[in-house]
Structure 1
């Protein structure tokens, strides 16, 4: 009798554990701190592959790409190469809506504006955050995985 109860309890626990794991949203923060289209393409490839991997497993994943320092050029409307801007738009709007966020560092933006003497616009798919480094830190404190290409 006890053996049946123990087996049933273990099976129930395994079911609850696997159900809880299936409901988990995977979260990854990716840093962009280089003004290099090759690095940005690597970041976009990684994000795409992660999303496809979890989509195939029918699991949720959220990705936040955080650009600061020279990497902000990859999210600037005037300096990001056209192929990069097109990929960002496709990822944000078409391919994976709601699962990917692009964050642009306001500290870097303000420093660039001061150095260049004019306002800077980021691509429409990006959101400005007060500090890119602080944003990455806060995401890690919330349990997000961190990747630096």
Structure 2
């Protein structure tokens, strides 16, 4: 009976959530940008770098997705982004960082300007930035708004 109890306790420890800490944990973070303000854009990128550095130092992994819509879409515009070079550099350094551009905002900007608005190559177009944030949160992403 003692052997069975010992085996049961060992099995429970292996299957417990605490065992995940020994192997590293995967975190998921959504960062929201909806302002055409270089300070906010840089704060969002700082948050991404700091989050990545912190979890790397702990042996954990982290997936970071930055979602831009409304006036914040300027952050991902090829012609107007004040942080374009930084996005490019960070994308090369952090394979776990992605950028989502709101399709609704992109379509409206393109219509208003009479031509397709070019986005930085690191950006992926999603149908709706707001909906993307909802989907990310529903799939376990933590939400950050700088």
Aligned twin of 2:94:
96
Structure 1: gaps of 5 or more residues:
none
Aligned twin of 1:128:
125
List structure 1 segments (4+ residues) > 2 angstroms apart after TM superposition.
4-24
Between the aligned partners of 1:8 and 1:139, the Cα distance in structure 2 is: 39
Structure 2: gaps of 5 or more residues:
none
Shift of residue 12 of structure 1?
4.3
Matched, 1:111 2:108: yes
TM-score where L is the length of structure 1: 0.88
Shift of residue 6 of structure 1?
4.5
Aligned twin of 1:51:
52
Give the SS at the match of 1:143.
Answer: coil
My pick for the range that moved more, 8-17 or 45-54, is 8-17
Between the aligned partners of 2:77 and 2:5, the Cα distance in structure 1 is: 60
Between the aligned partners of 1:43 and 1:6, the Cα distance in structure 2 is: 50
Q: Is the 8 A contact 2:29 2:142 kept in 1?
A: yes
- Cα RMSD (Å) of the superposition? 1.8
Between the aligned partners of 2:63 and 2:90, the Cα distance in structure 1 is: 12
Between the aligned partners of 2:112 and 2:141, the Cα distance in structure 1 is: 33
Question: What pairs with 1:65-84 in structure 2 (closer than 5 Å)?
Answer: 65-81=66-82, 84=83
Between the aligned partners of 1:125 and 1:91, the Cα distance in structure 2 is: 10
Q: Deviations over 1:103-130 (max 9, x none)?
A: 0011000101111111101101111111
TM-score where L is the length of structure 2: 0.89
User: Residue 140 of structure 2: which of 117, 138, 143 is its match?
Assistant: 143
